[in-house]
């Protein structure tokens, strides 16, 4: 590879972790980020303190074609994470969601195919939301968790041959961008691949009600504040530590010859499948008092169960088994205590977990 690595959304949670890993491995990194979300400017400052001149930055909107074209000029690879990331925001402002997630991704692809000297490898952050709400899968409730009745599906998870079914403007914008990336690989020979990510968590995650629920739950618990569950809390996700997610991104780049033109489901897999309630119970064990909860209505497009079948990703991208979720949760709690100064406090008296 010649030229630095460009990470769009590089000051966000996954982006900053990826940029840090790249710089530690000796790569020059260009962080492209609008720096609009809370905490991302501090992430960029942290990268600069750790890596000095290895980190360059472009403060610009991903929809700025001229800025993006200039940033792409000399890079040797692109990791595209810049996005509007919340289903709720997509419902309130679908035009903004479309512009950031779909139109800007199309612009990036078009600039890459027209780039003097030819395109470079591209790894794109897609989402498990491309599969819709999975409402056709028969589920049963076991120990506070929704699980498929089909034991084969329960043991393996959702594979990449699952039909796409976009729900909500967010699912449409990310899903359409996902398909554009794969088609540009097919139609124009771009060395591009797609990672359809489940729930990633870990240090440097801001954690809000709309995005980053594992960190959000921990932050609320450490502050002694209640958590709102939308639905019954028995929804299941396969949570993946950010270090394992970064390893997958690097694997996709390093094995781009095998990965180009293909999509990979990326999550913690069946071994890290856990319900929201189960995570809250584990957080209570870490923080002391049990976490208080309130309940809200089920959100649009929410999946009662999603677990990624990661066999294709592990084989093609050369991935190790992911970190167990309880180990990663403990690590995140310690990071929040030491780096964010959060200490456990007694919650207000509200409905307790069952």
The predicted-structure confidence for 296-351, as pLDDT tens digits, reads as follows: 999 888 999 999 999 999 999 999 999 999 999 999 999 999 988 776 544 433 33
Dihedrals phi, psi of 264, to nearest 5 degrees: -130, 130
Q: Residue 331 corresponds to which tokens in the numbers above?
A: 């690590």
Q: In terms of Cα–Cα distance, which of 11, 108, 120 is closest to 55?
A: 11
CATH number of the domain located at residue range(s) 83-339 in this protein: 3.40.50.720
Q: In terms of Cα–Cα distance, which of 160, 167, 161, 166 is closest to 195?
A: 160
Task: List all residues 6 or more positions away from 353 whose beta carbon is below 8 Å from its beta carbon.
Answer: 277, 280, 281, 284, 290, 291, 293
Q: In terms of Cα–Cα distance, which of 307, 192, 313 is closest to 251?
A: 313
Rounded distance, CA 91 to CA 4, Å? 36
Rounded distance, CA 121 to CA 191, Å? 5
Do residues 308 and 198 make contact, with C-beta atoms less than 8 angstroms apart? yes
Dihedrals phi, psi of 16, to nearest 5 degrees: -70, -35
Domain boundaries, the chain: 83-339
Catalytic residue flag (residue 170): yes
> Which residue is listed with tokens 């470079």?
120
Distance of CA 347 to the CA centre of its chain: 29
Do residues 252 and 123 make contact, with C-beta atoms less than 8 angstroms apart? yes
Selected catalytic residue, list 131, 170, 180, 201: 170
Average pLDDT value over all residues in the chain = 94
Rounded distance, CA 145 to CA 122, Å? 37
DSSP state of 124: E
pTM over cut 0.85: yes
Rounded distance, CA 83 to CA 170, Å? 10
Q: Work out the number of other CB atoms within 10 angstroms of the CB of residue 307.
A: 28
The predicted-structure confidence for 89-120, as pLDDT tens digits, reads as follows: 999 999 999 999 999 999 999 999 999 988 99
Q: Report mean pLDDT in 10-residue bins for the chain, 354 residues.
A: 91 97 98 94 97 98 98 96 94 97 98 93 97 97 96 97 96 98 98 97 87 93 92 96 98 98 98 96 89 89 95 98 97 92 51 40
């Amino acid at each position: 590879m010649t030229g630095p690595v460009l990470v769009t959304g590089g000051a966000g949670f996954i982006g900053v972790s990826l940029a840090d890993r790249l710089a530690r491995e000796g790569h020059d990194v260009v962080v492209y980020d609008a720096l609009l979300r809370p905490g991302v400017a501090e992430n960029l400052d942290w990268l600069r303190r750790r890596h000095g001149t290895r980190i360059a930055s472009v403060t610009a909107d991903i929809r700025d074609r001229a800025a993006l074209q200039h940033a792409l000029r000399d890079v040797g690879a692109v990791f595209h994470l810049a996005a509007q990331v919340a289903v709720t925001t997509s419902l309130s402002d679908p035009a903004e969601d479309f512009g950031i997630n779909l139109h800007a991704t199309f612009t990036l692809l078009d600039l890459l195919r027209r780039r003097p000297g030819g395109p470079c490898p591209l790894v794109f952050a897609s989402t498990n939301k491309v599969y819709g709400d999975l409402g056709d899968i028969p589920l049963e409730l076991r120990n506070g968790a929704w699980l498929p009745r089909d034991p084969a599906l329960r043991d393996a998870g959702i594979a990449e041959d699952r039909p796409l079914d976009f729900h909500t403007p967010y699912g449409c914008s990310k899903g359409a961008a996902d398909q554009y990336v794969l088609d540009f690989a097919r139609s124009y020979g771009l060395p591009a691949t797609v990672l359809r990510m489940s729930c990633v968590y870990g240090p440097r995650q801001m954690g809000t009600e709309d995005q980053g629920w594992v960190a959000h739950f921990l932050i609320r618990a450490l502050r002694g504040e209640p958590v709102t569950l939308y639905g019954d809390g028995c929804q299941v996700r396969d949570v993946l530590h950010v270090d394992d997610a970064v390893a997958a991104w690097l694997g996709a780049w390093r094995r781009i010859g095998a990965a180009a033109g293909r999509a990979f489901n990326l999550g913690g897999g069946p071994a890290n499948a856990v319900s929201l309630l189960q995570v809250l119970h584990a957080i209570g064990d870490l923080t002391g008092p049990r976490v208080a909860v309130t309940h809200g209505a089920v959100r649009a497009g929410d999946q009662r169960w999603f677990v990624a079948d990661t066999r294709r990703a592990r084989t093609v991208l050369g991935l190790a088994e992911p970190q167990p979720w309880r180990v990663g949760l403990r690590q995140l709690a310690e990071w929040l205590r030491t780096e964010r100064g959060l200490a456990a406090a007694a919650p207000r008296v509200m409905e307790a977990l069952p």
